[in-house]
Amino acid sequence: MYGVCGCCGALRPRYKRLVDNIFPEDPEDGLVKTNMEKLTFYALSAPEKLDRIGAYLSERLIRDVSRHRYGYVCIAMEALDQLLMACHCQSINLFVESFLKMVAKLLESEKPNLQILGTNSFVKFANIEEDTPSYHRSYDFFVSRFSEMCHSSHDDLEIRTKIRMSGIKGLQGVVRKTVNDELQANIWDPQHMDKIVPSLLFNLQHVEEAESRSPSPLQATEKEKESPTELAERCLRELLGRAAYGNIKNAITPVLIHLDNHSLWEPKIFATRCFRIIMYSIQPQHSHLVIQQLLGHLDANSKSAATVRAGIVEVLSEAAVIAASGSVGPTVLEVFNTLLRQLRLSIDYALTGSYNCITGVSTKIIKEHEERMFQEAVIKTIGSFASTLPTYQQSEVMAFIMNKVPLPSSQQSIEAGKAGENRNRLTQIMLLKSLLQVSVGFQCSNMLTALPSAFLDRLLSAALMEDAEIRLFVLEILISFIDRHDNRQKFSTISTISDISVLKLKVEKCSRQDTVFMKKHSQQLFRHIYLICKEESNIQAHYEALYSMLVLISIELANEEVVVDLIRLVLAVQEIAQINEDNLTAYNRCALFALGAAYLNLISQLITVPTFCQHIHEVIQMRQKEAPYLLPEDVFVERPRLSKSLDRLGPEVFFWQSKISEVLGGSGYNSDRLSTPYVPQLTDEDRLSKRKSIGETISLQVEVESRNSPEREQRAPAEEITYETLKKAIVDSVAVEEQERERRRQVVEKFQKAPFEEIAAHCGARATLLQSKLNQIFEITIRPPPSPSGTITAAYGQPQNHSIPVYEMKFPDLCVY
Amino acid sequence: MSMEDYDFLFKIVLIGNAGVGKTCLVRRFTQGLFPPGQGATIGVDFMIKTVEINGEKVKIWDTAGQERFRSITQSYYRSANALILTYDITCEESFRCLPEWLREIEQYASNKVITVLVGNKIDLADKREVSQQRAAEFSEAQDMYYLETSAKESDNVEKLFLDLACRLISEARQNTLVNNVSSPLPGEGKSISYLTCCNFN
């Protein structure tokens, strides 16, 4: 045929002649360069002929393919490429049609070489930026075919790699070509994304396969070094980098599905890697969308195995850190709500041992330790999310979590029974753990905003729960709030150091806000510290936390008054151990003594009053001699040596209030105050919620609320004023309480001892009172109809002076009884 | 002179459980081979063949049966003109999964798709677990065309694809009457489904 064309060359159109001339006699010779230049020149000077050139070239190419003359095929492609490069953008449009047809033809072939050739040309074409839109170009076939090539399972490993690489390159080309052109088939449509994304991930996934292949150093030229994995990663990054707001969802969904299908959440290394790539390459303002999708996926998977959920959650936490400030987006609380809900679900699963609580039919066996792992992962994730938030949102989040903690005083439904109790306890622990996680990352210089009253109240009421673990969490949380200069680690063990300068404490002067905070809340805090000290279930960790707490308050928040109060508090704690009303164990008592010694040792050195230091030092030395089991060094060890003879200790091993107030009074501290022993203000709430497990408290709670209110009101005005006022209020209320008790006692006595007549008389007096009240009511309810409003007010004003109405009736005395 | 070497272009997708012989069917049809020890298909595979009736070209997408590739294979159903739903007559399980596959078809494929039920491996007749009658009843209930084949012995393979081609052509003809506008589409058009890719020169 070629020969025939040559014969009647003169009769053929010029462009056909030019095209024919670029093909050599022998395909081995390659493209005829000079003739190719002629063709290019012709095409440039007559761009309107380009489409015909293209059509003719493609016709020849298709013929050559079907006749297996691959040499000519390559030449035709080379010519096409050159023409494509040489021609101006405007004229390219029509030519492209036949170009794409040829590429498609090559891709349809079974020969890997032709597939690769076609892909390479396509990639070259993809890199040309066209400025004329093309209305009816469609890349469906290319997407399908390139995706298929990415999955190539050719027998020869080397060829397989090559085909996969060209598949990826081809996809990259399609993406480049279409992503910015709104007229073309939307590459972001699920039908394309569902092919492109899994194909890339599939290649990304096979790192080990690619590495085991490691080519011999001879072959490893620059070009061959690139593995499909790297290429796929680059392509994925490029794809995601171009994704606009509306497209993120379509791009991420296939990722999630792919990870599900290939069960890649469980070892989670790959999933984490994927999402790292995603988070780093996506436009930062869209990152919260990814987070949202992950959260949604977590919800959708709430019945999957714990390991899968744990994988998703860990990925989430990784992603959250990467996305940093933008990770949460507009729905902060929604994010935390989802996580907390998952936490709660997991607790349920672990307790019921089934994913379906209602029917109780468990199809899968739930492994408790896996659920535990999942819970830990969720808590960690909550922490990493929170750490990305600004301070004000962090406190919002903490308040939110706190509100979810089931407390006896809250309105949340509290299930009765053993299971409900257990569940509540677990929930409390988990939520407090999350809270701790958040509070660790929380940096707020202002205690007042960090710990708003409502939050503190709830937190402290959790501290009074029977559960030792919960108590410890509350302490830890408080410590992490108070510790703003990272001093906490320095006090993680209790000891009596002779020189605190070795600790290199970072101390800042207590700010005005802190002073206000302490004025407002110090008594509440101290009361709780006192009460926690009394708990029998305390272990070493509790004492350590208590110690840290006391010390940190002294460092961070103390002014003179607070220091005085702290000393009083510690002395009162010493008294707990001394008097031992609550029948504490020897260990508890020794621990309290040791705690006191350690704290007083520290505070004495902090406030640097020589006489005070001396007293403390003396007592500690005395203890070292006489009773080493009262010092932290002996108590807080693995096998504490305890003494049973705690009740027969000499006075010299104790710290004495009188002595301390004397020495401190000399240095300008308020000695009056120092000499008054600390008496905790036990509110009704404390008495009630103490020792109560949550299940039983609902009914009591109503009572507590109503009884508490007057006292709270009473305290409210004092809050704004000075410390003295507060003190007075406290003392007063003690007095009031004392009087009240006395009065009650009298009443009881009277009723027990007095003769019947006397009681009857007393009641008679009350009967008249009742009578008058009734009158009053009758007046108000029965009179009004005809009277104008004036009379009514009068009636309110002096009800006693009204004449007795006719219908008034004396109640017989007996009714009263 | 014709620019393309075909008048009609159809996409056929093979689906079915792993190991029922989808790849072998395609290989037998397109290359005339029966490769023993064929490995599991990864994702999708692509074959093309020009059928002699009226110069029809069929693009055949062979999909992986493995569950883990389900999402990518599903994305290929969407634009298919015909689906060949394959099961293994020596494997009861592969037959029992058919309703599940039908659900997938309903969900992902176009509603005009032609579905053919194929029971493969009739060369292993002595190990047959699914009777012909049962399959025939099933296909009737689902309104599918039904055929039993053997890729190994090349029984009915040719017939399967040629019959399918005929049906596709007749359907396409009907459609072209209604929708006579056609445009040359490089690569593959969005509306290619039932349009002829006509000659322009």
Average pLDDT over residues A663-667: 78
More confident residue, A799 or A674: A674
Average pLDDT over residues B82-88: 89
Burial state string for A402-434 with b = 16 or more CB within 10 A and e = fewer than 16: bebbbbbbbeeebeeeeebbebbbbbbbbbbbb
Report whether pLDDT(A750) > 70. Answer: no
Cβ distance of B186 and A96 shorter than 8 Å: yes
pLDDT of res. A422:
75
Cβ distance of A137 and B186 shorter than 8 Å: yes
pLDDT of res. A765:
65
Cβ distance of B42 and A151 shorter than 8 Å: yes
By the 10 Å C-beta count (0-12 exposed, 13-18 middle, 19+ buried), A672 is classed as exposed
Q: A176: phi > 0 → left, psi -120 to 50 → alpha, else beta; which?
A: alpha
Q: Which two tokens stand for residue A412?
A: 């949340």
In a domain, B26, yes or no: yes
Residue-wise pLDDT for A692-721, tens only, equals 433 333 333 433 444 444 444 444 444 445
Question: What CATH number should be reported for the domain holding residue B137?
Answer: 3.40.50.300
pLDDT of res. A557:
78
HSE value, Cβ hemisphere, 13 Å, CA-based, for A435: 32
Q: Does residue A171 sit at the B interface (CB-CB below 8 Å)?
A: no
Residue-wise pLDDT for A268-301, tens only, equals 788 888 888 888 888 888 888 888 888 899 888 8
In a domain, B195, yes or no: no
In a domain, B193, yes or no: no
pLDDT of res. A419:
64
Candidate ranges A357-371, A695-709, B157-171; pick with highest mean pLDDT: B157-171
Residues A118 and A384: their CA atoms lie apart, in Å, by 48
Report whether pLDDT(A663) > 50. Answer: yes
- For the sheet containing B114-120, what is the strand order? B44-51, B56-63, B8-16, B82-88, B114-120, B145-148
Cβ distance of A262 and B68 shorter than 8 Å: yes
Lowest mean pLDDT among A200-209, A399-408, A676-685, B149-158: A676-685
Q: Does residue B125 sit at the A interface (CB-CB below 8 Å)?
A: no
Stretch 210-269 of chain A: residues touching chain B, C-beta under 8 Å: 254, 257-258, 261-263
Cβ distance of A153 and B201 shorter than 8 Å: no
User: In B, which residues are within 8 Å of A140 by CB distance?
Assistant: 79, 187-190, 192
Report whether pLDDT(A797) > 60. Answer: no
Residue-wise pLDDT for A400-424, tens only, equals 888 887 766 544 445 555 666 777 7
| CA angle (A181, A184, A187) in 5-degree steps | 85
* Identity of the residue in A62, A96, A194 whose CB atom sits nearest the CB atom of B5: A62
Q: Does residue B36 sit at the A interface (CB-CB below 8 Å)?
A: no
Residue-wise pLDDT for B14-58, tens only, equals 888 888 888 888 888 888 888 787 778 888 888 877 777 766 777
Q: Which has the closest alpha carbon to A327: A375, A270, A266, A397?
A: A397
Cβ distance of B46 and A145 shorter than 8 Å: yes
More confident residue, A726 or A160: A160
Average pLDDT over residues A226-244: 85
How close B106 gets to chain A, by Cα (Å)?
Answer: 16
Cβ distance of A148 and B46 shorter than 8 Å: yes
Report whether pLDDT(B84) > 70. Answer: yes
Q: Which has the closest alpha carbon to A780: A768, A796, A769, A767?
A: A796
In a domain, B184, yes or no: no
Q: Which two tokens stand for residue A162?
A: 């090559």
Residue-wise pLDDT for A377-404, tens only, equals 888 888 888 887 777 778 888 888 888 8
Give the model's confidence band at A739: pLDDT under 50 very low, under 70 low, under 90 confident, else very high.
Answer: confident
Average pLDDT over residues A666-679: 75
CB A149 within 8 A of CB A123: no
Range of the domain at B166: 8-179
Q: What φ, ψ does residue B82 adopt, rounded to 5°?
A: -145, 145
Kind plus residue range of the DSSP H or E element containing A767? helix A756-782
More confident residue, B140 or A691: B140
Nearest CA in chain A to B184: A97
Burial state string for A687-716 with b = 16 or more CB within 10 A and e = fewer than 16: ebbeebebeebeeebeebeeeeeebeeebe
Residues A210 and A204: their CA atoms lie apart, in Å, by 10
How close A62 gets to chain B, by Cα (Å)?
Answer: 8
User: In A, which residues are within 8 Å of B201 by CB distance?
Assistant: 55
In a domain, B175, yes or no: yes
Q: Which has the closest alpha carbon to A142: A177, A174, A164?
A: A174
Query: What three-state secondary structure class fits B10?
Result: strand
* Identity of the residue in A96, A101, A153 whose CB atom sits nearest the CB atom of B42: A153
More confident residue, A135 or B184: A135
Lowest mean pLDDT among A67-76, A553-562, A667-676, B173-182: B173-182
Cβ distance of A194 and B39 shorter than 8 Å: no
Q: How many CB pairs under 8 A join A and B?
A: 103
CB A526 within 8 A of CB A550: no
More confident residue, A784 or A613: A613
Nearest CA in chain B to A191: B75
CB A637 within 8 A of CB A553: no
Tell me how far the alpha carbon of residue A601 is from its chain's centroid. 39
Residue-wise pLDDT for A429-469, tens only, equals 888 888 888 887 777 777 777 777 888 888 887 777 777 88
Stretch 146-185 of chain B: residues touching chain A, C-beta under 8 Å: 183-185
CB A179 within 8 A of CB A251: no
> For all residues of chain A together, what is the average pLDDT?
75
Q: Which two tokens stand for residue A94?
A: 């029509």
More confident residue, A109 or A793: A109
Average pLDDT over residues A10-39: 81
In a domain, B199, yes or no: no
* Identity of the residue in B45, B78, B186 whose CB atom sits nearest the CB atom of A101: B186
Share of chain A above pLDDT 70, in %: 74
Q: What φ, ψ does residue A451 adopt, rounded to 5°?
A: -120, 80
pLDDT of res. A697:
36
| CA angle (A446, A450, A453) in 5-degree steps | 115
How do beta strands B56-63 and B145-148 pair?
unpaired
Report in angstroms the alpha-carbon separations of A70 from A140, A737, B4: 26, 106, 18
User: In B, which residues are within 8 Å of A148 by CB distance?
Assistant: 43-46, 61
Residue-wise pLDDT for A605-630, tens only, equals 887 778 888 888 888 888 888 777 87
pLDDT of res. A531:
83
Stretch 113-142 of chain A: residues touching chain B, C-beta under 8 Å: 136-142
Residue A743's contacts (CB-CB under 8 Å, 6 or more residues apart) are none
Strand partners, B58: B10, B49
In a domain, B189, yes or no: no
Enumerate helices (H) and strands (E) in chain B, giving the number of each. Answer: 6, 6
User: In A, which residues are within 8 Å of B76 by CB distance?
Assistant: 144, 195
The Cβ of residue A230 has, within 10 Å, a number of other Cβ atoms equal to 16
Residues B32 and B25: their CA atoms lie apart, in Å, by 9
Tell me how far the alpha carbon of residue A579 is from its chain's centroid. 45
More confident residue, A790 or A97: A97
Read off the amino acid at residue B155: D
Query: What three-state secondary structure class fits A217?
Result: coil
Average pLDDT over residues A487-503: 76
Nearest CA in chain A to B37: A155
pLDDT of res. A729:
61
Residue A323's contacts (CB-CB under 8 Å, 6 or more residues apart) are A279, A284, A287, A288, A290, A291, A388
Q: Does residue B44 sit at the A interface (CB-CB below 8 Å)?
A: yes
Nearest CA in chain B to A61: B3
Strand partners, B62: B14, B45
In a domain, B200, yes or no: no
Task: Tell me how many domains chain B contains.
Answer: 1
HSE value, Cβ hemisphere, 13 Å, CA-based, for A369: 0
